[in-house]
A = this chain, B = another copy of it.
């Protein structure tokens, strides 16, 4: 079995949207333009080639829809392989490094957890996230004290350097706070299922 390169974030975002509901390239572009997903690029120059790649890899299939009007448009739906890969991506384990360097990917994943629709899986995802945040926080705080002790750095530079680190610390705290708050929502859901 040939191990294909894992798709990019943009490709996964597209695959996820198509997984939620079959869409045309134009529909997808619209979503990227109008919503927060736009952070994963936009512009046809990125999206159309990405769609084509997904099709070439056999993860999605396009079908001409001519029911609505005279102008046909190509509507994409995930293949079985596409669904499988996407779910695998969703539930794949979270490393501390993911939390440090690939937060955007993690959040993208979580945004599609509606597909799994399982509070337990969501909970364990959030738990890993908050643990990862903890680890990074510890690391950042350590770096901060090292910074404070390092006499090689001119004190002005150290002053600004510390402040920049503080930003990272605030961001990480925000991540942890969000994860914990979200966990509570699922706790409630599990205790009192609909």
- Which residue in B39, B160, B181 is a CB contact (below 8 Å) of A101? B39
The contact size tier of chain A is 35 or more
Chain A 93-114 per-residue mask, 1 if CB under 8 angstroms from chain B, else 0: 0000000010000010011111
Q: Determine the chain B residues whose CB is within 8 A of the CB of A36 once the complex forms.
A: 143, 164-165, 168
> Number of copies of this chain in the oligomer?
2
Chain A interface mostly? helix
Contact residues in B for A89 (Cβ distance below 8 Å): none
Chain A residues engaging chain B, CB cutoff 8 angstroms: 20, 35-36, 39, 101, 107, 110-114, 117, 143, 154, 156-157, 159-161, 163-168, 170-171, 173-175, 177-178, 181-182, 185
30 residue pairs A–B, Cβ–Cβ below 8 Å: A20-B157, A35-B143, A36-B143, A36-B164, A36-B168, A39-B101, A107-B167, A110-B163, A111-B160, A111-B164, A112-B160, A114-B154, A114-B156, A114-B159, A114-B160, A114-B161, A163-B185, A166-B178, A166-B181, A166-B182, A167-B175, A167-B178, A170-B174, A170-B175, A170-B177, A170-B178, A171-B171, A171-B175, A173-B174, A174-B174
